[in-house]
Amino acid sequence: MSYLNRTLPHTNAFGTVDISSATSVHDALSLSGMDWKVDSRPIFDVTGKKFPNYVANVRQDTDELLGIVTDRYRIVQNEEAFEFVNNLSSEGFEFESAGVFKGGRSTWLMGHLPEETILGDDIANNLVFVNSHDGSSGVKVMMTPVRVICYNMLNLALRRANRSWSTKHTTSIYSKLEEAQHTLGLAQKYMDELKIEADRLANITITDNEIEAIFDKMFPVDPAKDSARKIRNVSTLKDGFIKCYDESDIRKFKGTVYGAINAMADLVDHKAPARVTANYYENNWNRLINGHSMLDTFYRLAS
Protein backbone atom coordinates (compact mmCIF):
# COMPACT_ATOMS: atom_id res chain seq x y z
CA MET A 1 0.00 0.00 0.00
CA SER A 2 1.34 3.47 -0.87
CA TYR A 3 0.63 6.65 1.06
CA LEU A 4 -0.18 10.19 0.25
CA ASN A 5 2.07 12.46 2.32
CA ARG A 6 1.04 11.97 5.98
CA THR A 7 2.68 15.29 6.94
CA LEU A 8 0.43 17.43 4.74
CA PRO A 9 -3.20 18.47 5.25
CA HIS A 10 -5.78 16.51 3.26
CA THR A 11 -6.64 19.57 1.16
CA ASN A 12 -3.11 19.71 -0.27
CA ALA A 13 -4.02 16.69 -2.38
CA PHE A 14 -6.13 18.74 -4.80
CA GLY A 15 -6.50 22.30 -6.02
CA THR A 16 -7.66 24.20 -2.98
CA VAL A 17 -6.65 27.71 -1.96
CA ASP A 18 -4.81 28.92 1.12
CA ILE A 19 -6.95 31.60 2.81
CA SER A 20 -5.01 31.76 6.07
CA SER A 21 -4.36 35.49 5.61
CA ALA A 22 -8.10 36.24 5.51
CA THR A 23 -9.63 38.16 8.41
CA SER A 24 -13.22 37.97 7.18
CA VAL A 25 -15.48 35.88 4.97
CA HIS A 26 -15.28 38.60 2.35
CA ASP A 27 -11.47 38.28 2.31
CA ALA A 28 -11.69 34.47 2.26
CA LEU A 29 -13.98 34.44 -0.77
CA SER A 30 -11.87 37.02 -2.60
CA LEU A 31 -8.63 35.10 -1.96
CA SER A 32 -10.18 31.79 -3.04
CA GLY A 33 -11.91 33.21 -6.13
CA MET A 34 -15.29 32.18 -4.73
CA ASP A 35 -16.74 35.70 -4.73
CA TRP A 36 -18.83 34.91 -7.81
CA LYS A 37 -22.64 35.09 -7.84
CA VAL A 38 -25.34 32.62 -8.86
CA ASP A 39 -28.28 33.49 -11.13
CA SER A 40 -31.65 31.78 -11.47
CA ARG A 41 -32.59 31.38 -15.14
CA PRO A 42 -35.66 29.96 -16.90
CA ILE A 43 -35.45 26.61 -18.70
CA PHE A 44 -36.72 26.04 -22.27
CA ASP A 45 -37.05 22.91 -24.39
CA VAL A 46 -35.78 22.63 -27.97
CA THR A 47 -38.98 24.15 -29.30
CA GLY A 48 -38.60 27.24 -27.14
CA LYS A 49 -41.33 26.25 -24.69
CA LYS A 50 -40.60 27.25 -21.12
CA PHE A 51 -40.63 24.52 -18.47
CA PRO A 52 -42.97 25.59 -15.66
CA ASN A 53 -42.04 25.46 -11.97
CA TYR A 54 -38.32 24.84 -12.52
CA VAL A 55 -35.28 27.09 -13.01
CA ALA A 56 -31.56 26.64 -13.59
CA ASN A 57 -28.99 27.87 -11.09
CA VAL A 58 -26.03 29.20 -13.10
CA ARG A 59 -22.65 30.70 -12.15
CA GLN A 60 -22.52 34.29 -13.41
CA ASP A 61 -18.79 34.24 -14.14
CA THR A 62 -18.65 30.99 -16.15
CA ASP A 63 -22.28 30.35 -17.16
CA GLU A 64 -21.82 26.85 -15.76
CA LEU A 65 -25.01 25.01 -14.80
CA LEU A 66 -24.96 24.20 -11.09
CA GLY A 67 -28.37 22.62 -10.65
CA ILE A 68 -32.04 22.43 -11.62
CA VAL A 69 -34.32 23.52 -8.76
CA THR A 70 -37.95 24.50 -8.27
CA ASP A 71 -38.88 28.13 -8.79
CA ARG A 72 -39.49 28.37 -5.03
CA TYR A 73 -35.81 27.76 -4.31
CA ARG A 74 -34.03 30.78 -2.83
CA ILE A 75 -30.42 31.26 -3.90
CA VAL A 76 -28.09 32.01 -1.02
CA GLN A 77 -24.91 33.61 -2.31
CA ASN A 78 -21.62 32.43 -0.84
CA GLU A 79 -20.93 35.54 1.22
CA GLU A 80 -24.46 35.54 2.64
CA ALA A 81 -24.23 31.84 3.47
CA PHE A 82 -20.93 32.09 5.33
CA GLU A 83 -21.30 35.58 6.83
CA PHE A 84 -22.12 34.27 10.33
CA VAL A 85 -18.61 32.76 10.45
CA ASN A 86 -17.26 36.30 10.96
CA ASN A 87 -18.69 36.16 14.47
CA LEU A 88 -16.41 33.24 15.39
CA SER A 89 -13.24 35.36 15.24
CA SER A 90 -13.67 36.60 18.81
CA GLU A 91 -13.32 32.95 19.94
CA GLY A 92 -10.02 32.50 18.14
CA PHE A 93 -11.32 31.15 14.84
CA GLU A 94 -8.86 31.44 11.94
CA PHE A 95 -9.42 30.72 8.25
CA GLU A 96 -7.35 28.00 6.62
CA SER A 97 -8.42 26.85 3.13
CA ALA A 98 -11.30 26.90 0.67
CA GLY A 99 -12.51 25.26 -2.53
CA VAL A 100 -15.40 24.08 -4.65
CA PHE A 101 -17.05 20.78 -5.45
CA LYS A 102 -18.09 19.99 -9.03
CA GLY A 103 -17.36 23.38 -10.50
CA GLY A 104 -19.25 25.27 -7.80
CA ARG A 105 -22.29 23.12 -7.11
CA SER A 106 -21.03 23.33 -3.55
CA THR A 107 -18.48 25.68 -2.02
CA TRP A 108 -16.59 25.21 1.22
CA LEU A 109 -14.47 27.10 3.71
CA MET A 110 -12.35 25.50 6.41
CA GLY A 111 -10.89 27.08 9.52
CA HIS A 112 -9.95 26.17 13.04
CA LEU A 113 -10.66 27.10 16.62
CA PRO A 114 -7.84 26.85 19.21
CA GLU A 115 -6.21 23.41 19.44
CA GLU A 116 -7.31 20.83 21.99
CA THR A 117 -5.26 18.04 23.62
CA ILE A 118 -6.50 14.44 23.62
CA LEU A 119 -4.47 11.67 25.25
CA GLY A 120 -1.32 13.76 24.97
CA ASP A 121 -1.80 14.59 21.27
CA ASP A 122 -2.48 18.05 19.83
CA ILE A 123 -5.79 18.01 17.97
CA ALA A 124 -6.57 20.68 15.38
CA ASN A 125 -10.13 21.81 16.09
CA ASN A 126 -11.18 22.17 12.46
CA LEU A 127 -14.59 23.09 11.08
CA VAL A 128 -15.72 22.96 7.45
CA PHE A 129 -18.60 25.13 6.21
CA VAL A 130 -20.39 24.10 3.01
CA ASN A 131 -22.94 25.97 0.88
CA SER A 132 -24.74 24.29 -2.02
CA HIS A 133 -26.16 25.77 -5.21
CA ASP A 134 -27.62 22.58 -6.69
CA GLY A 135 -30.52 22.22 -4.25
CA SER A 136 -28.91 19.33 -2.35
CA SER A 137 -28.68 21.08 1.03
CA GLY A 138 -28.48 24.38 2.82
CA VAL A 139 -25.45 25.60 4.72
CA LYS A 140 -23.77 22.83 6.71
CA VAL A 141 -21.08 22.80 9.38
CA MET A 142 -18.91 19.71 9.82
CA MET A 143 -16.48 18.88 12.60
CA THR A 144 -13.17 17.66 11.19
CA PRO A 145 -10.74 17.37 14.15
CA VAL A 146 -7.29 16.18 13.11
CA ARG A 147 -4.34 14.70 15.04
CA VAL A 148 -1.66 17.23 14.13
CA ILE A 149 1.19 14.72 14.30
CA CYS A 150 -0.16 12.62 11.43
CA TYR A 151 -3.17 14.49 9.97
CA ASN A 152 -5.53 11.65 10.79
CA MET A 153 -9.08 12.99 10.82
CA LEU A 154 -11.10 11.84 13.84
CA ASN A 155 -14.60 12.99 12.95
CA LEU A 156 -16.17 9.95 14.59
CA ALA A 157 -19.95 9.46 14.61
CA LEU A 158 -20.27 10.01 18.36
CA ARG A 159 -23.47 8.93 20.07
CA ARG A 160 -23.86 12.01 22.25
CA ALA A 161 -22.68 14.85 20.00
CA ASN A 162 -23.40 15.85 16.41
CA ARG A 163 -20.44 15.95 14.04
CA SER A 164 -22.42 17.97 11.47
CA TRP A 165 -25.45 20.21 11.42
CA SER A 166 -27.33 22.63 9.20
CA THR A 167 -27.47 26.36 9.81
CA LYS A 168 -30.18 28.86 9.09
CA HIS A 169 -30.10 31.42 6.31
CA THR A 170 -30.31 34.57 8.41
CA THR A 171 -30.28 38.25 7.48
CA SER A 172 -30.08 40.18 10.75
CA ILE A 173 -26.83 40.81 12.61
CA TYR A 174 -28.42 39.47 15.80
CA SER A 175 -29.45 36.23 14.10
CA LYS A 176 -25.98 35.74 12.63
CA LEU A 177 -24.47 36.19 16.11
CA GLU A 178 -26.93 33.62 17.46
CA GLU A 179 -25.98 31.17 14.71
CA ALA A 180 -22.29 31.64 15.50
CA GLN A 181 -22.90 30.99 19.20
CA HIS A 182 -24.95 27.91 18.30
CA THR A 183 -22.06 26.64 16.16
CA LEU A 184 -19.52 27.28 18.92
CA GLY A 185 -21.68 25.43 21.42
CA LEU A 186 -22.07 22.36 19.20
CA ALA A 187 -18.39 22.38 18.25
CA GLN A 188 -17.30 22.46 21.88
CA LYS A 189 -19.76 19.74 22.83
CA TYR A 190 -18.34 17.53 20.09
CA MET A 191 -14.76 18.09 21.22
CA ASP A 192 -15.67 17.46 24.88
CA GLU A 193 -17.37 14.19 23.94
CA LEU A 194 -14.47 13.20 21.68
CA LYS A 195 -12.09 13.52 24.65
CA ILE A 196 -14.33 11.30 26.77
CA GLU A 197 -14.74 8.75 23.97
CA ALA A 198 -11.02 8.66 23.17
CA ASP A 199 -10.23 7.91 26.81
CA ARG A 200 -12.85 5.14 26.87
CA LEU A 201 -11.55 3.58 23.65
CA ALA A 202 -7.94 3.76 24.84
CA ASN A 203 -8.93 1.62 27.83
CA ILE A 204 -10.55 -1.14 25.75
CA THR A 205 -8.17 -3.83 24.56
CA ILE A 206 -8.47 -5.42 21.14
CA THR A 207 -6.55 -8.37 19.74
CA ASP A 208 -5.27 -8.95 16.23
CA ASN A 209 -7.81 -11.77 15.89
CA GLU A 210 -10.64 -9.42 16.84
CA ILE A 211 -9.46 -6.91 14.26
CA GLU A 212 -9.31 -9.68 11.67
CA ALA A 213 -12.91 -10.61 12.53
CA ILE A 214 -14.01 -7.00 12.02
CA PHE A 215 -12.36 -6.91 8.61
CA ASP A 216 -14.10 -10.17 7.70
CA LYS A 217 -17.45 -8.56 8.54
CA MET A 218 -16.66 -5.40 6.62
CA PHE A 219 -15.11 -7.13 3.59
CA PRO A 220 -16.38 -10.71 3.42
CA VAL A 221 -14.56 -12.89 0.92
CA ASP A 222 -15.64 -16.23 -0.51
CA PRO A 223 -12.62 -17.84 -2.21
CA ALA A 224 -14.93 -20.17 -4.12
CA LYS A 225 -17.07 -17.39 -5.61
CA ASP A 226 -15.21 -14.08 -5.48
CA SER A 227 -12.84 -12.89 -8.19
CA ALA A 228 -9.10 -12.92 -7.74
CA ARG A 229 -9.18 -9.12 -8.00
CA LYS A 230 -11.60 -8.75 -5.08
CA ILE A 231 -9.58 -11.15 -2.94
CA ARG A 232 -6.40 -9.25 -3.79
CA ASN A 233 -8.01 -5.87 -2.99
CA VAL A 234 -9.20 -7.04 0.43
CA SER A 235 -5.77 -8.48 1.17
CA THR A 236 -4.19 -5.15 0.18
CA LEU A 237 -6.54 -3.30 2.54
CA LYS A 238 -5.61 -5.57 5.43
CA ASP A 239 -1.91 -5.16 4.71
CA GLY A 240 -2.41 -1.41 4.57
CA PHE A 241 -4.16 -1.40 7.91
CA ILE A 242 -1.28 -3.34 9.50
CA LYS A 243 1.19 -0.81 8.10
CA CYS A 244 -0.85 2.04 9.58
CA TYR A 245 -1.16 0.23 12.92
CA ASP A 246 2.64 0.05 13.07
CA GLU A 247 3.21 3.76 12.44
CA SER A 248 5.20 5.27 15.33
CA ASP A 249 2.52 7.81 16.29
CA ILE A 250 -0.16 5.08 16.42
CA ARG A 251 1.98 2.29 17.86
CA LYS A 252 1.77 3.80 21.36
CA PHE A 253 -1.97 3.00 21.32
CA LYS A 254 -1.57 -0.44 19.74
CA GLY A 255 -3.67 -3.16 21.36
CA THR A 256 -6.47 -0.70 22.15
CA VAL A 257 -9.60 0.16 20.22
CA TYR A 258 -8.41 3.79 20.05
CA GLY A 259 -5.22 2.68 18.33
CA ALA A 260 -7.12 0.48 15.88
CA ILE A 261 -9.53 3.32 15.02
CA ASN A 262 -6.60 5.66 14.43
CA ALA A 263 -5.06 3.08 12.11
CA MET A 264 -8.30 2.90 10.13
CA ALA A 265 -8.46 6.71 10.02
CA ASP A 266 -4.90 6.69 8.69
CA LEU A 267 -5.87 4.12 6.05
CA VAL A 268 -8.88 6.02 4.68
CA ASP A 269 -7.20 9.44 4.96
CA HIS A 270 -3.83 8.75 3.36
CA LYS A 271 -3.99 5.61 1.23
CA ALA A 272 -3.03 6.46 -2.31
CA PRO A 273 -5.63 5.26 -4.85
CA ALA A 274 -4.86 2.39 -7.19
CA ARG A 275 -6.22 4.54 -10.02
CA VAL A 276 -6.44 8.34 -9.87
CA THR A 277 -9.55 9.62 -11.63
CA ALA A 278 -10.06 13.28 -12.51
CA ASN A 279 -12.14 13.98 -9.41
CA TYR A 280 -10.71 11.39 -7.00
CA TYR A 281 -9.14 13.77 -4.49
CA GLU A 282 -12.10 16.14 -4.52
CA ASN A 283 -14.54 13.25 -4.01
CA ASN A 284 -12.40 11.71 -1.28
CA TRP A 285 -12.24 15.04 0.58
CA ASN A 286 -16.03 15.22 0.39
CA ARG A 287 -16.28 11.69 1.83
CA LEU A 288 -13.85 12.52 4.62
CA ILE A 289 -15.55 15.68 5.85
CA ASN A 290 -18.97 14.02 5.79
CA GLY A 291 -17.69 10.96 7.65
CA HIS A 292 -15.99 8.16 5.76
CA SER A 293 -18.15 5.01 5.67
CA MET A 294 -15.19 2.66 6.28
CA LEU A 295 -14.14 4.54 9.42
CA ASP A 296 -17.74 4.79 10.64
CA THR A 297 -18.29 1.05 10.20
CA PHE A 298 -15.00 0.08 11.83
CA TYR A 299 -15.71 2.39 14.78
CA ARG A 300 -19.18 0.92 15.25
CA LEU A 301 -17.97 -2.68 15.12
CA ALA A 302 -14.91 -2.15 17.30
CA SER A 303 -16.48 -0.08 20.06
pLDDT for 282 beyond 70:
yes
- Cβ–Cβ < 8 Å for 142, 289: yes
* The pLDDT value given to residue 12: 52
The type of residue at 62 is T
Widest pairwise Cα distance in the chain: 68
For the segment 98-118, what is each residue's pLDDT rounded down to a tens digit?
999 999 999 999 999 999 999
Rounded distance between C-alpha atoms, residue 280 and residue 252, angstroms: 32
pLDDT for 14 beyond 70:
no
Mean pLDDT of 263-284: 82
For the segment 129-148, what is each residue's pLDDT rounded down to a tens digit?
999 999 888 899 999 999 99
* The pLDDT value given to residue 289: 93
Rounded distance between C-alpha atoms, residue 133 and residue 59, angstroms: 9
Q: Which of 225-229, 268-272, 293-297 has the lowest mean pLDDT?
A: 268-272
* The pLDDT value given to residue 3: 54
pLDDT for 200 beyond 70:
yes
Q: Which of 72-86, 117-131, 167-181 has the lowest mean pLDDT?
A: 167-181
Q: Which residues pair with 69 in a beta bridge?
A: 55
pLDDT for 272 beyond 80:
no
pTM score, two decimals?
0.91
